[in-house]
Structures are given as structure tokens and as C-alpha cells.
A and B are shown apart, each in its own frame.
Chain A
Amino acid sequence: EVQLQESGPGLVKPSQSLSLTCSVTGYSITSNYWGWIRKFPGNKMEWMGYISYSGSTSYNPSLKSRISITRDTSKNQFFLQLNSVTTEDTATYYCASESTTGVMDAWGQGASVTVSS
């Protein structure tokens, strides 16, 4: 059974970068797709992007050039970096496994990130 766990700072200052790690067990990240999703206060959910089994990426255009998703296959981890954050990036960030048809079939427990000075 695949399990995912997010980790990273819970507080980030405005204009800085948000960095999160997703550690995956029970499944190799060299298979399938691996995504980041965030849930804002008030319940709106936004798909941020994914990294594929081959290392290719796809990002939500709403995040423009601020986002980067990378991976370390030796540790079976993938990473989110979001640059130039503002208070509007305050959210709970989830990593998830995605099927080839975009179904998010397993989720991490979520990491709450607050952007504040």
C-alpha cells in the first residue's frame, strides 16, 4: 500500500520560498505520477502540478513561473518549491499519487503552511 508524508516548515515569510518534501513508501516514484494539491482556508482546492515517472513535469498555469517540482529517486521523495510567496499562499499542502488518467488515489496527511511576517 502506498503511503505519502509531507514535511517542511509551517511558517514562511512573504517573498521567500516555500519548500516541502513528500516521502513515499510502498511504491516507487519511478512509476506513476506524483502531484501537489493545496487547500485554502475556506475549502477551495487547487491542483498545483505533478512530476511523472520519467521526471517530466506539468504545472498549473495559475502559478506561472513560481513553482518547481523535483524528485530524488534514491530516497523515493519528491519536492515542491514555490517562490515569492504571499499571504495568499497560506494553505494546507498535500502530496498525492496520480494515476495515468489524473485520479488522485492516495494522499498524504497534509502540511499546514502559513505565510506571515
Chain B
Amino acid sequence: DIVLTQSPALAVSLGQRATISCRASQSVSTSSYNLMHWYQQKPGQQPKLLIYDASNLASSIPARFSGSGSGTDFTLTINPVQADDIATYYCQQSRELPWTFGGGTKLELK
């Protein structure tokens, strides 16, 4: 299985930039796609798709969210961070079955 590694937590100040990383144990990119996706989950809610194929913003997601990366290293950026963004963020790969998730990064306020 492809293992995805995320830092457990990140502390940021409101209005600042947050950069959340995800590293894969092997490449999740093809010649056409970077098959890494990002989800946001708030307590008591279901996960919500933010970014698909590494850099494409999902429907209705604010432009302060962006994604980048290829191969094994990917980044989710939130700029500027707002209070509503406090949540846990998960990366997920669909390069190879079984699909796998990172352990999640909890975004906290400084």
C-alpha cells in the first residue's frame, strides 16, 4: 500500500499562511495526473473535498485554498487562514488501490 505521511499538527495565526505537507512512499503521479487529493474535516462533520488532482479547486471552495506538488511531495496552502479553517486536513491518493489516506494534520491557532 502507498503510505502517506503528514505532520500531526500545525499552529498558525489568523491572517497568516498555512502550509500542510503530505509525502507519499512512492509516486502518485502518472504522465497525465497527480492523483493526490485533499479533504477538510471539522469535528462532528463529514470530510469535504477541497482539492483534487493535486491542484484543482473543488466546487464552492474559496480561492484561499490551493494545492501543489507532484511525484511524492504535495502541499496544501491556506492563505490567509480564517477562523473557519480550523479543522483537520487529510491527503488521499488514488494512484493505486487500495486508496489510502494520510494521518491528518490538525490546524490550530497560535
Contact = CB atoms under 8 A, between A and B. Distances in A.
Interface stretch (A10-18, A40-48, A68-76, A79-87): A40-48
**Max chain B Cβ within 10 angstroms of own Cβ: one of A94, A103, A107:** A103
Interface residues of A, number: 21
Contacts of B58: 105
A103 B28 CA distance: 13
B90 A45 contact: yes
B101 A47 contact: yes
B101 A45 contact: yes
B33 A62 contact: no
Nearest to A42: B103
Contact of B100 (A47, A99, A104): A47
A107 B47 contact: yes
B75 interface: no
B101 A101 contact: no
Contacts of A60: 98
Contacts of B52: 99, 101, 103, 105
A61 B98 contact: yes
Contacts of A101: 33, 35, 52-53, 94
**Max chain A Cβ within 10 angstroms of own Cβ: one of B46, B49, B88, B92:** B46
Interface string B78-99: 0000000000101011100111
A109 interface: yes
A9 interface: no
A12 B92 CA distance: 29
Contact of B99 (A44, A61, A102, A105): A102
A109 B98 contact: no
A58 B94 CA distance: 13
B55 to A, nearest CB: 13
Contacts of A43: 88, 103-104
8 contacts: A43-B88, A43-B103, A45-B90, A47-B99, A58-B97, A102-B99, A103-B49, A110-B46
Interface of A: 43-47, 58, 60-62, 94, 99, 101-110
